[in-house]
Structure 1
Amino acid sequence: MSVVSLLGVNILNNPAKFGDKYEFEITFECLEQLEKDLEWKLTYVGSATSDQYDQELDSLLVGPIPVGVNKFVFEAEAPDTKRIPDADILGVTVVLLTCSYDGREFIRVGYYVNNEYETDELNADPPAKPIIEKIRRNVLADKPRVTRFAIKCFCARRVPPEQPEADVQPDDEEYGAEELAEEAEEEDVAAAGEANGEAVAAAAGEDDAMGGVEGAEPAGEEEMSEDGSVDLENESEDDLEEEEEIAEGEAAGGDDAMEVDDKPQTVMAH
């Protein structure tokens, strides 16, 4: 929404003679205090073929402007007929009412203007040289064409103020420091919880592994009896006799078996 809004334009003297002043009663609203004045201009389009015949009838600076609805009357002199081609004095032309702030136009209102003689006889057979005193103008006030232009903000207080102290603000007082500390603390707690969970899971895995070892059947116990004892009677008698013979032989030649070679043994490293 614009800081300045045009609420209405009322043409006070319409219709009027061609040489009479233009009188516009302008009503607008200002939403904020303006630092500079508003510049209003009224331009008469002298010819539809070239803008070199355009005339600025008058300009007006309005200000200081209070906040709220404002109204004023803008008066402008009639155009100089010497600067208008004779063929373009009669007929339809345009007047432009514009408003600018700080040299930048932000609103334009265009009105069609019909210039004709006061009598039907002159209109039916107009003289080669226009008779200005007998020409009447009629501004089509009920059919304006309004154009708005976007410009930079009107007042300086819409611009954020400078904050040099923000550059020297301590790091521990930065915006969001507390939130960042809380997030870091939550992350540490979550990480500790995750580590504890992994440790518990690892311990449980070790228990399962140990349980599997304890529950496994010992190797070589396929011949255990139903009550869990080993049946020694199933051992081969030949094996027992062989062990007895070996024991007797060791007893007979014990001295030879106990001889020790004084030379050191050579160990091959692979």
Structure 2
Amino acid sequence: MDKAIHIYKSSPHLMRGGLDIWLVGRIAVALLLLLPLGAVAYLALSPPLSLAPSDDIWGHLWRTILPHQILTTLQIMLGVAFMTASIGTITAWLVSFCAFPTRRFFAWGLLLPLAIPTYLAAYSYSDLLDSASLGAKLWRIIGLEPSLYPNIYSLGGGIFILSAVLFPYVYISARAAFVHQSAGLLEAARLAGLSPFACFWRVGLAQARPAIIAGVALTLMECLNDIGAMEHLGIQTLTIGIYDTWVVRGSLIGAAQMALALLIFIGALLYF
């Protein structure tokens, strides 16, 4: 009896039936968070109310716009992953291991792009770099070929804007990894005859790779989530397709089916 009382007092979070209150609470919160995903899966996989040809929404989408939107989404993800990984990692290394006058400012200033919504960045860059903007006029004044002027309303423009706003995800992850690296290991690499670039590539980057991958994964999830910037630039991504299918075409089931495809992208990011 005394032993049972002692166990109960040492575990006050246990209910009368032996259930863990915290475990029950965690399960309840997890189910609550999974509820929207369950609703999307139910709408996407539920049979149509009738067997009319118009109910074949998924087949119609797959025959028309879905392949192009999936391909565009993959291209955006690959481009943004490369750009953000490069910019974020290089800036984190420079701020962490190089001495220059404005180093302390850039250590925190490089986080500021995260405060800018992607759609506002798209509006700003399109005004600055439009074919009728001051930038285009200067391009022609200095004698450059007008046909070579970069088109901001393109896949490359979308990759540039998303990368310019989202690279701090990689920067902050890489910087945290670089700061916690052993300075003695880098000094040993230098004494072994490695150049500064070789130290970065073979020592620093190798240790920071998991943090960089985590930052890139966050960036890619933001890419999949973006709608304002891509809509303004006229880039047809999978997220734009979900919005158009639901709001413009009035098909909730079709939007849910496309959202399920988007969840597959997210699941692949989390798995790999």
Query: Shared fold by TM > 0.5?
Result: no
Aligning the two structures, in what range does the TM-score lie when normalised by the shorter sequence?
under 0.3
By percentage of residues, which structure has more strand?
A: 1
